[in-house]
Amino acid sequence: MSIQNKLREVLFTKEQIARKVKELGEIISRDYENKNLLVVSLLKGSFIFTADLVREIEVPVRIEFMVTSSYGNSEESSGEVKVLQDIKDESLKGYDVLIVDDITDTAITMTNVLRHLSKKNPNSIKSCVLLDKPSRRKVEYVADYIGFEIPDMFIVGYGLNYGDYLRNVDHVFAFVDPK
Ligand code: IMP
Ligand code: MG
C-alpha cells in the first residue's frame, strides 16, 4: 500500500519524548560525573535527539558528529556500514565516549560504530538510543541507555526520516494500514 493511503499512529508525543530525554539526561549526568564525556552523535537521524539530550546533561560534555551510510530511501538495512564522515581524533585516549543514535534496529550500525571507535582506545565506550526495536536484530546488541522499546514498525519524526522528509516532526509516529 502506498504511503499516501496510510494512517499516522502517534507512538510518542512531544511531551512524552521530552520527559524521557530529561530522565536519560539525569541518569547520564550521574554516571558521567568526574568523567570526560564525549558524545558522538550519528547523523542524520540523531541530530534532534542529541540536541535535546545534551541540554539535559549537567556534566561537561564535548560533542562530535559522525556520518555513516544509511538505508537511503529503502526501509531495509544493507548489512554494510560505511563511515562517511569520521571524527577527527586519531586517538580517544582519556575520553569516555557515548555514542548517541535515534534508533537501534538490526544493530548493524551501532556494532560497527562501536568497533570503529573502540580502535581509537577511549577510556570507556557506551551507547544511548532513544528508540529500540529488539525484535529486528541481525546482530546481538543491547544499548546502555534506551528511551523506549517499540515493536517492529517503521517509524518517523523527531529526527527519523521517511525518504528525505519528516525529520522535523516534533513527535514519533508510525504509518499504519487503515482498518
Ligand atoms: P540499524 O543499523 O539497522 O540498527 O539501523 C540504524 C539506523 O537505521 C538508524 O540510525 C536509523 O537512522 C535507521 N532506521 C532504523 N529503523 C528506522 C525506522 O523505523 N525509521 C527511520 N529510520 C530507521
Ligand atoms: Mg541513523
Span 148-158, pLDDT tens digits: 999 999 999 99
What's the rounded Cα separation, in Å, for the pair 3 and 147? 27
What pTM does this model have?
Answer: 0.94
Position 93 pLDDT exceeds 80: yes
Mean local confidence (pLDDT), 154-174: 96
Cell digits of residue 79: 548489512
Ligand 1, atom 9, residue with closest C-alpha: 103
Residue 128 φ/ψ, nearest 5 degrees? -140, 125
Decide if pLDDT at 41 tops 60: yes
Q: Is the CB of 103 under 6 A from ligand 1?
A: yes
Please say if 96 is a catalytic residue.
no
Which member of 52, 96, 101, 105 is catalytic? Answer: 105
Cell numbers 551501532 correspond to: 110
Q: How far apart are CA 23 and CA 27, in angstroms?
A: 6
CA–CA distance from 15 to each of 7, 21, 47, 155 (Å)? Answer: 21, 10, 18, 18
What is the pLDDT at residue 76? 58
More confident residue, 26 or 176: 26
**Residue from 50, 61, 62 nearest 87 by CA:** 62
- The CB of 108 under 6 Å from ligand 1? The reply is yes
